[in-house]
Amino acid sequence: MAAPGKVAAFHLPPLPTIGEIIKLFRLKAQKQLSQNFLLDLRLTDKIVKQAGNLKNAHVCEVGPGPGGITRSILSAGVQQLLLVEKDARFIPGLQMLSEAAPGKVRIVRGDILTYKIEKAFPKHLKKDWADEPPDIHIIGNLPFSVSTPLIIKWLENVSKKDGPFIYGRTQMTLTFQKEVAERLTANPGDKQRSRLSIMSQHLCTVENCFVIPGQAFVPKPQVDVAVVHFTPLVTPKIQQPFKLVEKVVQSVFQFRRKYCFRGIETLFPEDGRLKRTEQLMMTANVDPTLRPFQLSMSQFRNLCDTYRKMCDEDPSLFVYSYREELRQKKMRNLPISTSEPEQTEEENQL
């Protein structure tokens, strides 16, 4: 019996193991959905601990699958757990967990990319942006195929303070391929520094918590997996609209092996390109011979602030597309004076 005045800790009743659930419902990971199951509950407990204290918290788990992380979240003593699962095959096993934790679990069959998470939690949980984060957490072992577009979507939500961030600075604990996690947390000068590094770090404190070896998953992926924790910043490091920052950052990293001058050129139409590029780099005080991965956050901020002023003076600049200009030239069989942008793995995923 719990001591007087204390609430008894929540414990799940005896349940089939995750392996037994997989056999019972004949579940197989689908390669086209890049599904990988994590069966070791010690590892799922470790993932959930990175989210912090979940006692009486409200949690949304993305893609719970057979329910390994789900069990660890429930064992952490949450008040409410929302499960968003796209694959109908996992619903019966999740319903078994729901019945083992009466009143705590709500299951939604749907795609997290389109699910209206801003309506998922009680309004009284909302906090002002400058306050401590709300008692709301997003946790998920993300399929590799959706991890990059999903974090970009949520980062845009952070910028606009909508979606799951309508409640305040909602924290996220998510898994990524180890290489993607290294990009998310890479510092200036690191060869892994990329568009993802800037887009995530200018909006959030991003922590690469630990690495899970590929052999811990079933089936074993060809890469290791890392757990990353995100806490939105009170004040973004670049205070410009998300789409503008994304356009500048994406342009800089289009030619990541060349001088940053080369990528910044692609922000401007061919007519007047050189003059405007020089104007932008001089005003932003950025050395044109630096490589993209060498640029600091303050240099990206200066580039975005200066580009915003140039767009205010000439609104047609923001809608200009370098790729579209190349496409039009090809259609007209005109000579193309510059090389094609390098296609990054991030862009391929998107």
Which residue ranges make up the annotated binding site for S-adenosyl-L-methionine? 36, 38, 63, 85, 111, 141
Cα–Cα distance for residue pair 68/17, rounded to 1 Å: 9
Which residue has tokens 């109908």?
Answer: 88
Query: CA distances (Å), 95 to each of 36, 44, 196, 291, in order?
Result: 20, 19, 36, 52
Q: Please enumerate, by residue number, every residue annotated as part of a binding site.
A: 36, 38, 63, 85, 111, 141
Burial class (CB in 10 A: 0-12, 13-18, 19+), 37: buried
Distance, CA of 136 to CA of 80 (rounded, Å): 10
How are beta strands 171-177 and 136-140 bridged, if at all? parallel
Q: Which helix (H) or strand (E) holds 16?
A: none
Single-letter residue type at 266:
T
Per-residue tokens: 225? 């997996």
* Cα distances (angstroms) measured from residue 151 to each of 65, 80, 312, 320, 341: 19, 23, 29, 26, 23
